[in-house]
Amino acid sequence: MTSIVEEIIKDKLGTTPDKISSLSGGSINDAFCVSCSKNSWFIKLNSKEKYPGMFEAEANGLRLLQASEFIIPNVITYGDHSEYTYLILEFINTHSTDQIKWGIFGNKLAKMHGSTSETFGLNSNNYIGSLIQKNDQQKTWVEFYANQRILALSEIAFNMGLLSSSEIKNTERFCNELEALIPIEPPSLLHGDLWQGNLLCNKESLPVLIDPAVYYGHREMDLAMLFLFGSIPNESINEYELEYPLEKGWKERMDIHQLYPLMVHLILFGSSYHGSVSSVIKKYV
């Protein structure tokens, strides 16, 4: 694989790497740090047949996030090479999030969520993990969350034998309850896949965001994702609320917005997530 990386760097950046080091790229990508005398880049590759347009969508998402105050890797270029597709980014030296300045993270997240749009969604689809994420724009969050998130994934899960017909009916009932459950807010610029693994910090302990699944949505989506497989300190939430106060009851309805990533995991990783998906739906129907 390093020979492929060297070919891409020579062809696209016009230089010969001094060193190519393998990095963790998650479950679907191969990732590398490429160094030459004056620069270092992060490059990741995957199959252009399996994941068409993935890196173009990621590049667009990173560029949207650069409107925020977070540190976001600069996009150098992306494209296809042989049977691979690739994305080349600025390389940022990162450290354990144990060192992150959590108050600054909360403040910057609130400011990012203050960036808005006329509609919920995005002008193109992208990916969450290896799953295509539909972003057809709609006027209300309830419509968008029901149609582009929950109902779209429940159909996939049903076709895979992961949800029964009765569970599909319960999912539809869940969606019918959303208007009464979720406070109306303007669309917020979301990272879209803000679990702990996509939050890093640089050598100054400032927050760095990577691997987005960007769209404009209800800001409680990002918060729900942060708390799905972990948590963030109260300091972070306090600083968030000083900048952009949350609506009362956001913690109690967090599972409503956790249903989407749980359904993503059900589809990608199988029936071990069925109980979590089912329990959220049953709570509201």
Catalytic residue IDs? 193
Domains, the chain, with CATH or none: 2-92 (3.30.200.20), 95-284 (3.90.1200.10)
Going by the DSSP 8-state scheme, the letter that residue 146 receives in this structure is I
**Cα 243 from Cα 93, distance rounded (Å):** 29
- What average pLDDT does range 12-26 have in this prediction? 86
Q: Which tokens in the block code for residue 254?
A: 């967090």
For residue 19, the tally of other CB atoms under 10 A from its CB is 11
- pLDDT of 206-239, one tens digit each? 999 999 999 999 999 999 999 999 899 999 999 9
Question: How big is the CA angle at 247 (ends 128 and 265), to the nearest 5 degrees?
Answer: 20
Summary mean pLDDT of the chain: 95
Biggest CA–CA distance in the chain, Å, is 61
pLDDT at 97: 78
- CA dist list (Å): 220 to 127, 139, 227: 20, 17, 11
- What average pLDDT does range 150-171 have in this prediction? 97
- pLDDT of 111-139, one tens digit each? 999 999 999 999 999 999 999 999 999 99
- What average pLDDT does range 89-96 have in this prediction? 88
Give the residue from 277, 257, 256, 258 showing the smallest Cα distance to 267: 277
pLDDT at 25: 63
pLDDT at 28: 85
pLDDT at 99: 87
Q: What percent of the chain has pLDDT over 90?
A: 87
**Looking at per-residue confidence, does 27 or 143 come out higher?**
143
What pTM value is reported for the model?
0.95
- CA dist list (Å): 191 to 42, 162, 212: 20, 27, 5
